[in-house]
Structure formats: C-alpha cells, structure tokens
Amino acid sequence: GAVVSQHPSWVICKSGTSVKIECRSLDFQATTMFWYRQFPKQSLMLMATSNEGSKATYEQGVEKDKFLINHASLTLSTLTVTSAHPEDSSFYICSARDLTGQGGVFGPGTRLLVL
C-alpha cells in the first residue's frame, strides 16, 4: 500500500535556529501533500496544503514566512520552521492523498523540541 515517510522522526534545536522536515511519498506520486501540527492531548490542525510546482496554501493564522513549504517534486515536500521558538515545539505530521484519491496516507510524524 501507499506509504509516506518523514525525516527526521525527532529533532531538538536551540531557539532561533531553523529546522527542515522532509515528507516523502514512497512508491507513489503525490501532487498534493498536507502539513498538520498536533500539540499534546489535542487534535490535528491543518497548517497548509502543499502543491507540487506551486505555492502552498496556508490556513488562517499560520505564518507563511515562519513555516516555509517547498514541494519541488512529486514525491517530496519540505517544511522549514524558521527562527524556531519554544512555542513551536510540537508534533508535525504530513499526509498525501493516496492513489485512489479516497483517503489520506499519513507519515509517522516529527517531534520538534525547541529549547
């Protein structure tokens, strides 16, 4: 079946640094990928929709200059958290539409801790 991978699985960084998270669709092409953020004990909140070859669409309240999204190929989307602060610490999850277009295939997530 369709699989989505994320790298790294966890990252610890100092406040003010930038962190890049990769989301890859394995064995299938994904023209659209989605980035979610999940705080402890809470639900998933959509941050942005990543479209291959075009600009990402950000949800209301999500700073596009802080969360840079690049979808340069049909199998790779990246999320860069720029000038990270402790409040950016969260679980970041990406997903892609599966081959049938019926559902979302989710990556294993990336835990970010900003000190």
Partner 1 sequence: GIQVEQSPPDLILQEGANSTLRCNFSDSVNNLQWFHQNPWGQLINLFYIPSGTKQNGRLSATTVATERYSLLYISSSQTTDSGVYFCAVKETSGSRLTFGEGTQLTVNP
- In the complex with partner 1, the residue whose CB is nearer, 45 or 68, is 45
The least distance separating partner 1 from the CB of residue 38, rounded to whole angstroms, comes to 8
Tokens of 29: 């092409």
Find all residues with CB under 8 Å of 105, minimum gap 6, and list them.
1, 2, 3, 4, 25, 95, 96, 97, 98
Q: Tell me the β-bridge partners of 20.
A: 80
What are the strands, taking DSSP E only, across 3-115?
A: 3-7, 10-13, 19-26, 32-38, 44-51, 57-58, 67-73, 76-81, 90-97, 104-106, 110-114
- In the complex with partner 1, the residue whose CB is nearer, 66 or 104, is 104
The least distance separating partner 1 from the CB of residue 80, rounded to whole angstroms, comes to 21
The least distance separating partner 1 from the CB of residue 16, rounded to whole angstroms, comes to 26
- In the complex with partner 1, the residue whose CB is nearer, 36 or 114, is 36
The least distance separating partner 1 from the CB of residue 70, rounded to whole angstroms, comes to 20
Give the footprint of partner 1 on this chain (CB under 8 A): 34, 38, 42-46, 49, 59, 91, 93, 95, 102-106, 108-109, 111
